[in-house]
Homo-oligomer: A and B are copies of this chain.
Amino acid sequence: MPIYNAPTRDLQFVLQDVLKLPETGLPGHDELDRDFTEAVLDAAGKLASEVLAPLNIVGDSQGCRLENGVVRTPEGFKAAFEAMKEGGWTALDCDPDYGGQGMPYVLGAATGEIFVAANIAFNMYQGLTHGAYSAIHAHGTDAQKQTYLPKMVSCDWTGTMNLTEPHCGTDLGLLRTKAEPQQDGSYLISGQKIFISAGDHDMAENIIHLVLAKAPGGGEGTKGISLFIVPKFLVNEDGTLGERNAVSVGNIEHKMGIHGNSTCVMNFDGAKGWLLGDLHKGMRAMFTMMNEARLGVATQGYSCAVAAYQNAAAYARERLQGRAATGAANPSGPADPLIVHPDIRRSLMDQKSFIEGARALALWGAHLIDRSHQGDAEADGLISLLTPVLKGFLTDKGFDSAVQAQQVFGGHGYIEEHGMSQFVRDARITMIYEGANGVQALDLVGRKLAADGGRHVMAFFEMIKTFCRQHADDAALAADFITPLKAASKDLQSAAMFFMERAARNPDDALSGSYDFMHLFGQVAIGYMWARMAVAARQALDAGTSDAAFFETKLTTGRYYMKRQLPMTATHLVRIQSGAEPVMALSAEAF
């Protein structure tokens, strides 16, 4: 049985020492001091370790079953969902006007890491609901908010996102689901949606589907799309549940992983739906949900790696195999533990330095969301730029990291018993859903980079430049952190410059390098986070912390990242600068 222990100390370090929540913080959130966030994280960790993590492998092996048109979740899921609701976790960062606790998004992201690491498939039921909550909160009428939000905040009702159809995923302009207006202002929705996570299950009284469909009179392509609220059970005037709507589960998919989450084919056969937001402006409303979902998936990507890493580290300390090249480390035992071997260390350090950097980056991103919600335009621009980077890079690297953790187990990692295969199979989806990572790269290079005249990327460069200048004379940090960060940031700027010079003449010159650019950006962003963490660790040490070992470990782990991961930016730059020619030279038939 895999282990999981919430890394409360590491999360606290980011929230309190790096982001300094109480100081820099969020107006109206004066409660976010060290004791408070620790209590929240501890409670989340307890639920995760005691209830969610033990169900992770159960969910994988049992999967979801479609029985007489209803999806049955794995044994224990329903009780765990009740525990999550009772703990108030589903309401944590929701609006108090609808029963939420009004905590900032960054705290939801921190507890989100914990819940995802313990059981990603389980946590999706709540995660999807939160996305649907946000869309209704942002675009719904007062009546819609009153009807749906309180029940969704409590997760008595859960939510879904219905975008994909058999013939289209990324290219939503092609979608065929139709919405026919009715006399009473409602619509009848007809069509088939696929890959609908949490599409049906037995843990909620009602399921609120948000469905993209084409209503008459819209333009071609994405311009004709609107978003509709389609509840599984219609809701009466008094809020009680009425008749079953004409939406049904066609099938559940057999997938590589996240077996504990029901991925459904949903059939809408003239189901009653209500417009959410403006007619023919469904994409805009959908993107409210999507941007949040993308950050959620970024968290999923690295959180799977956190769980996998904890098990790999434990195994490496316990499993006796071979002897250290520098002399027996465990002379009284039959062999030394795996962790004495440099290549096992290399793997664990790769994982550890990525995970901790990713955590800081994801939480910084969540903090930017909070600032953006409070009207900070700069933060809004920055997180809009960073969203595809976080989604694409953290999920790609999170998957790689889980694969490395599995590798530490050797053959024992390949059998299902130890759960390492599951971490890899589960992590794999994060590179695909909510916009496959190639689409994130396209979004970054094709849209976000040049948005508002390139202002946001310039602000990012300026922020790093200022940071480097501030710490240039800090002898303890300059060589190990500032110099490599500067070099990596320069690679990123050169790449952006290359795109600017070339893209006007040939957009393919930029698009051919988009994936490398997303990774280059991710490396620099994590490098920047490590430099900030190093500053925070140094400050704690200089202030005479009683926990010096913790902060020294941060510095050592950060140095590893700067020395052995960050130099990858140079290779990305070389690839980018090779332009479109090598990528586009072959005819389609030559493949």
Contacts and interface: CB of A to CB of B under 8 A. Distances in A.
A245 interface: no
A contacts with B: majority SS? helix
A411 B195 contact: yes
Contacts of A436: 407, 410-411
A591 interface: yes
A515 B343 CA distance: 7
B432 A583 contact: no
A246 B339 CA distance: 38
Interface stretch (A97-105, A148-156, A316-324): A316-324
Contact of A585 (B173, B415, B556): B556
Contacts of A583: 342, 345-346, 349, 560, 564
Interface string A241-253: 0000000000001
A424 B428 contact: yes
A415 B511 contact: no
A446 B584 contact: no
Nearest to A170: B321
B506 A326 contact: yes
Contacts of A585: 556, 559-560
B425 A580 contact: no
Q: Which of A174, A321, A515, A591 has the most CB of B within 10 A?
A: A591
B341 A591 contact: no
Given A349-B582, A411-B433, A586-B557, A254 B417 contact: yes
A473 to B, nearest CB: 24
Contacts of A343: 438, 441-442, 511-512, 514-515
Interface stretch (A20-28, A268-276, A566-574): A566-574
Interface in A378-429: 399, 403, 406-407, 410-411, 413-417, 421, 424-425, 428-429
Nearest to A512: B342
A334 interface: yes
Contacts of A344: 438
A588 B414 CA distance: 25
Contact of A316 (B195, B446, B591): B591
Contact of A335 (B174, B334, B438, B446): B174
A213 interface: no
Nearest to A317: B588
Contact of A410 (B169, B507, B508, B511): B169
B414 A429 contact: yes
B438 A347 contact: yes
A67 to B, nearest CB: 20
A251 to B, nearest CB: 10
A335 B506 contact: no
Nearest to A562: B582
Contacts of A320: 167, 171, 174
A34 to B, nearest CB: 23
Interface string A190-221: 00001100000000000000000000000000
Nearest to A578: B563
A194 B417 CA distance: 14
24 contacts: A171-B320, A171-B335, A174-B320, A253-B415, A255-B415, A256-B416, A263-B415, A325-B446, A326-B506, A337-B588, A340-B588, A343-B512, A343-B515, A345-B512, A347-B515, A407-B436, A410-B432, A414-B432, A425-B425, A556-B585, A557-B586, A564-B583, A567-B571, A571-B571
3 closest Cβ contacts across the A-B interface? Answer: A342-B511, A256-B421, A313-B591
